[in-house]
Amino acid sequence: MPNGKMSERVKEDIEGGILKWLGTAPKSSNKKALQAYQDIADTREKELQWFRDEIRKAYSGRAPRVLDPFAGGGAIPLEAMRLGCEATAVDINPVAWFILKCTLEYPQKLAGKTYPLPDFILDDEAFMTDFYEAHPHLVNRTKKTKKQAKEDKNILPGFAKPDSGRAPKADLAWQVRAWGRRVLNEARQELASFYPTYADFETLGTFQVPYEAQEMQLVPLKDDGTANIDALNAEFSEEYLTQKQNPRWVAKPTVAYLWARTVTCKNCRATVPLLKTRWLCKKDGKRVLLTMQPNRDRSGVVFGIDDRVPLQGGNAAQRRENDKRLGAGTMSKAGAQCPCCSAIMTMEDIRFEGKAGRLGMLATAVVTESQTTKAYRLPTQHELDCAQRAEAELERVFADIPFGMPTEAMPSENALGMRIPKYGFSQWRDLFTPRQLLALGTLVRQVRKVALDDSIPLPPEWREAVAAFLTLLVDKTADYNSTVCTWATSRELIRGTFARFAIPITWDMSEMPAVNDVGGSVVAQLEWIARYIETALDS
């Protein structure tokens, strides 16, 4: 302990062998878990206060001043502020300056302050459920949601609590969540048709009963852009659907679209997919492989999915070597081998084709979220059409955005960490597919509405802070929504653009459906940003 005394402490939870950062309270109704969290938080706060007091003693009772002239992301001044110091952060880089405003300035200015939630979010049952779980003291003391008002109708007259008519007040983190939902909902209405959802006919859970298999169906959309699975199940009665063993249509949201860059073979002129590996998933108990063979006229390849790849080999080394052979793609250090004629396209050949603008893209597989795990299938023609028609919308979407599309020149191919210009990528827009640009442009437009619309009921300092964090939301979405992103086969998730401090060329890439509730999407990034704000406000 800071006072020098030994103390017996309860072992703290770890995840993956790493001690969890004490951020927001766990979303659990378990009183013991919540009490354990609160006990740890109280202990850490006492320890932190001890350090603050000792630091002040060392400086004659005043808070020391800390200046960081190259503050970057603000880690040093943030920790100095937590220790009670008067911190000043400076940086000449405009990106670092903007990050500092979000990590330090806005949380400090608005710490301890609240403002009424906007009216539109009060009828979002999912949002308000989470909000009231985090703020149980506000239940029945603020304006009722539609669901609460409906439930009151079933209560005997005189027993229902009156509606106060007051919108609940929320701190900066929940304001960002609320307005982030607004941005997401508006963007989803525009983008949902570009990310179709399909449904499979099956039972719920683990029920195994015989039924007639049917081809998967495209799920129609509601007016708000969400999947309308009820429309497919309209033929079934409510009683039928309550029985989980009865088969029905179950939506399978898309997690990722997997693509491969392509080049034309210099020998047979076939379209060669540039694949580093054909493994789609390789972990204990689940092995999925992308199969590939030349098509009939040998002008390209035909893909397939093998989701039952057995382990072969007597020991670990033999199994590893067999997996390497099974999952070998077309790419190697020497270049790419044509699957139709076995000719080698050297790396110099590929760079030449890239600079001539002749590198293409080919869809290989689609990753979906099933009831228990992730599933893999081939893309449909409708999905391919959706990806292609996005390009026709780019001019309209970027027309109202200052400076338009990101057509600025990329650094030289000799710049440190920049290898992608060697393959013909000369502008920043080249890092994105048309559909990715469409998603980012739509998000930018919706964020600008929040920042610039004077009719939005937010005071200037709140609007500036909320708009800044929503701008970070666009940045984080771009990180997981570029052609540099890849699919992690051992974890079944998308690796971001900046998996390392460089922008390399990637041959097989992963595209995220921006408006779906999957890892790396707008929904996921919004929650990560809000969690940081909560931690910063508490600090």
Query: In the predicted model, is pLDDT for residue 355 greater than 50?
Result: yes
- Using one digit for the tens of pLDDT, what is the confidence trace for 425-444? 999 999 999 999 999 999 99
The reported pLDDT for the residue numbered 15 is 47
What's the sign of the alpha-carbon dihedral 407, 411, 414, 418? negative
The CA distance from 469 to 250, in Å, is 35
Q: Of the given ranges (88-97, 161-170, 323-332, 502-511), which has the lowest mean pLDDT?
A: 161-170
Query: In the predicted model, is pLDDT for residue 8 greater than 70?
Result: no
Mean pLDDT, all residues of the chain: 89
- Phi, psi at 195, each rounded to 5°: -125, 75
Q: Provide the Cα torsion 289, 520, 232, 393; round to 10°.
A: -100
Comparing C-alpha atoms, which of 484, 479, 490, 476 is closest to residue 509? 484
The reported pLDDT for the residue numbered 275 is 97
Question: In what helix (H) or strand (E) does residue 61 lie, and over which residues does it extend?
Answer: none
Cβ neighbours, 10 Å, residue 410: 18
Task: Parse the chain into domains and list their residue ranges.
Answer: 14-104, 115-170, 198-252, 255-368
- Using one digit for the tens of pLDDT, what is the confidence trace for 463-483? 999 999 999 999 999 999 999
* Ramachandran region, residue 72 (left: φ > 0; alpha: ψ -120 to 50; beta: rest): left
Percent of the chain with pLDDT over 90: 71
